Chains A and B, each alone.
With several copies, the nearest count.
Chain A
Amino acid sequence: MDITIRIGGEAGQGLQFIGSVLARIFSRNGLHVFSHQDYMSRIRGGHNFYQIRVADHPVRASKNRIDILLALDENTILVHRDNLRAAGVIIHDSAMTGQEHDEADFLHIPFLEMTEKAGVTRQMANAAAIGAILGVLGLDLDLFPETIRDFLANQGNEVVASNLAIAQMGWEYSHSNGWPESLKFSPANRKGLMLINGNQAVGFGALVSGCRFLSAYPMTPSTGIMIYLAGKAEEYKIIVEQAEDEIAAINMALGASFGGVRAMTTTSGGGFALMAEGLSLAGMAELPLVIAEVQRPGPATGLPTRTEQGDLLFVLHCGHGEFPKVLFTPGTPGQAISLTNKAFELAEKYQVQVIIQSDQFLADSEWTYEETHDCFLNYNDYRDRSENSGEEEYKRFALTENGVSPLAVPGLSTRLVVVDSDEHDEEGHIIEDSETRNKMVAKRLLRKMPLLQEEIAPPEYYGHDNPTLLLVGYGSTYGIMHEAVDELADEVNIALLHFSEVWPFPVAKDYDFMAAVSRAELAVCVENNATGQFARLIRAETGFLFKASIRKYDGRPFLLEPFLGEVDELLGQV
């Protein structure tokens, strides 16, 4: 079973509500979910959709072909009808779409009429739609009440009850309608799965890493991280401060970091651009900092609610002057949790800046996971809380063998913590001489880089050992590459190599991954951008020149079928 549901309509019609309630009910039913969102930069009107792929096995990408289309307006039908599979179904209420459809693949359900009958608001038609979809799929409404309660907690029992009543009507209507077996689920395992999107994953990762301070300026598609942590702020004693601009955001976070807490900031490309100088400050002052950059298509304002991997080289090289930096590019929410944790650990351990680069696709995509343990998480307090021992004064930038100096917290001891954006001596005071400069560059940059490189995990290899085709990528293309490998494994020797820790660029330790790349008959660099930034990075680091690539830069993620088409075409060339 592998069903794709697309819910389309105008902004403000509540399709995000429908989508996320459905996704949650599915995951609670033990079904695997992959969802993604496609929305415009407006609050009402226009055209948005929410797409859920639900299956009885793990799914990692979205499809182009739809099984069920829920159309909240006529435009949705116009735009998406061509993507409906044979024997799929379009659910709609002609009172909402303003158009009658009597073709075989249409199912008209009088959602609005139901709300009128029940004497509830028009908005509750959404509950009817949820019920209707569950009905088509042959799923029951058992989990509806608790789920809807989670979503509408603050609206009281009455609202929940009305929603349930309306959902029931929708369910009855569609359930009875004799849908093809191919749309039906019979969930064997009702052990619920974890459902989490990329933004929540970064937020959760920060929470379980002891992050105590987030300063940020709202910016789509990063705001979800801020919202997640703001919701936890009181319970876990975290300051979530909306700054007046992104420059303030990063400088506040640096202040908090200096003050002795784990701090982060979140933004998208344009806001990150404003943080460039602050990032360089963090480098000079050796202040631990985690930044989540959730990409959207640029340049400038670009397509504010859409996706792209267009900022790789910008972020990697960002900040004037030279200082070490770590860049992670998780491909899944699962990776996002563990890499965010690793980010906080490395940031504090080495007193460096770690950037987690995500994108709108990953940020808004929900994945399901089986229960996991906390064994993959780390928490070490690397701060130095001891008092000055004997005569020797504390020196914030003491020249140590590995370049890492003790990190004291102001006010928690009599040690004085002095940091400076100018070049400085061991104590942190301004200097200009050549010798000290050389020592400090060696300490903070040249000595730390190899240590950081040691910490970097190699890319993940998956698939055939001696592949004809090797898909190479980073970040949010993980899912699509994985699906392609699974899909084509029977036909061709195929594999993927996915980098989620891209800087310092991993070195071949456990296995020589670049040998694997060279071994492949055709190595293809897969990127959600126009210029092939990751391919350039690989060449800069390894000399390897990709002869083939799959790129996309229209603000949309890769979808399975067209992606397979491109892979096929490349296979034809081998």
Chain B
Amino acid sequence: MSFLDKFKGQKPAWCPGCGNFAILNVLKRLFTEMELDPSEITIVSGIGQGAKTPHYTKCNTFNGLHGRTLPVATGIALANNKTHVIAIAGDGDCYGEGGNHLLHAMRRNINITLFVHNNQVYGLTKGQASPTSMPSLQSKTQPFGNPSEPLNPLALAIAMNCSFVARAFAGASGLPQLQELMKKALEHKGFAMIDILQNCVTFNKINTFHWYKERTYRLEENYDPGDRISAFSRSLEWGDKIPLGLFYKNERPVMEDNYPMLKEGCLAAMEFDQKEVFHREMVKFF
């Protein structure tokens, strides 16, 4: 059975040429190579084009609200540690509507892998500026271009001491690295984020496939992702040259380790004895 069968999902509703196809494919290939069963994976997503991804493969799926991917993923990861919890979000979803959750998920350093399909635009709602849109992106709601400074997700993540911070590109040249980073992220203990540059053929005429292709390059072989300051400094590179790779990584404790109630394993699998609890606790009100 090829990965296309095992992880075959619904027919994608994306535009032909959309960068999301490549990401989806890499994801399926990775699952296959990691010999995962669909039931060992849970994908949580929000609303947007990228957020439709879980429907197009096979896995446990919580396709929730726009912007609320990470709290849902957090709840799942705490209640039930039996599956890999992957969060998939768009740039609007994750850096716009859901920005606050991103900050706090990073602080928690909970075991979640976040893939941001960053096409620097609101795709599903037809082309408005997203938090990562370039100033020159004009739209019907931004006739003067995007008036705000584009958000730099990597710099932000490094400032938040996120324990795994990477960038990849969903074009052919970037796919092997994307898969490699995804694998590392899934194996990472703690919160891992990959910002994936993804072209939107319909609404982003600035950051096209070629635009990315010409600018992106891999961080040097000897680059040290352990150095937070230099990670920050590299994260500021954007323009003619855009580095890809694992920018920053640390080994700080994951949230699950701070919680004694998780020491005995999966909450969802525990038994409950109502009578015992009732009698043990009732007396304390006397």
Contact = CB atoms under 8 A, between A and B. Distances in A.
Given A418-B61, A421-B47, A421-B65, A259 B76 contact: yes
B167 interface: no
Given A241-B78, A244-B100, A223 B64 contact: no
B170 to A, nearest CB: 17
B130 to A, nearest CB: 10
Contacts of B77: 255, 259
B74 A410 contact: no
Interface residues of A, number: 92
Interface in B50-80: 52, 54-55, 58-68, 70-80
Contacts of B80: 256, 259-261, 409-412
A414 interface: yes
B272 A252 contact: no
Given A263-B79, A429-B10, A231 B61 contact: no
A212 B270 contact: yes
Interface string B133-158: 00000001111100000000000000
A283 to B, nearest CB: 12
A420 interface: yes
Given A43-B15, A244-B100, A278 B38 contact: no
A255 B76 CA distance: 5
A231 B143 contact: yes
A44 to B, nearest CB: 4
B55 A259 contact: no
Nearest to B16: A44
A28 interface: yes
A255 B71 contact: yes
A251 B65 contact: yes
Contacts of B1: none
Contacts of B260: 234
B82 A410 contact: yes
Contacts of B222: none
Contact of A247 (B37, B68, B83): B68
A435 to B, nearest CB: 17
A419 B64 CA distance: 8
B225 interface: no
A254 B80 CA distance: 12
A411 B39 CA distance: 6
A568 interface: no
B75 A251 contact: yes
Contacts of B266: 411
A192 interface: yes
Contact of A430 (B52, B144, B286): B52
B66 A301 contact: yes
B83 A411 contact: yes
A301 B275 contact: no
A278 to B, nearest CB: 7
Interface in B244-286: 259-262, 264, 266-270, 272, 274-275, 277-279, 281-282, 285-286
Contact of A255 (B44, B82, B122, B281): B44
B132 interface: no
A247 B71 contact: yes
A242 B259 CA distance: 13
A256 B78 contact: yes
A207 B79 contact: no
Interface in A355-387: 371-372, 374, 377, 379, 381
Given A242-B142, A259-B76, A410 B39 contact: yes
A120 interface: no
Nearest to B259: A239
Contacts of A409: 80, 268
Given A233-B143, A418-B60, A41 B286 contact: no
A509 to B, nearest CB: 27
A430 B12 CA distance: 11
Interface stretch (A96-104, A214-222, A465-473): A214-222
A257 B125 CA distance: 28
Given A410-B83, A411-B80, A417 B125 contact: no
Contact of A422 (B63, B96, B141, B275): B63
A256 B75 contact: yes
Contacts of A430: 10, 52, 55, 63
Interface string B114-140: 000000001111101101000000001
B65 A374 contact: no
Contact of A263 (B10, B42, B75, B264): B75
11 contacts: A207-B277, A207-B281, A240-B141, A249-B71, A251-B64, A259-B75, A259-B268, A261-B79, A412-B268, A418-B61, A430-B10
Task: Give the top 4 A-B pairs by smallest Cβ distance, nearest first.
Answer: A255-B75, A411-B82, A260-B268, A259-B79
Given A195-B285, A300-B64, A419-B63, 20 more contacts: A43-B14, A194-B282, A204-B281, A213-B78, A217-B96, A223-B126, A223-B128, A244-B96, A248-B71, A251-B71, A255-B78, A259-B79, A260-B80, A371-B286, A411-B60, A414-B38, A416-B58, A419-B62, A421-B63, A429-B55
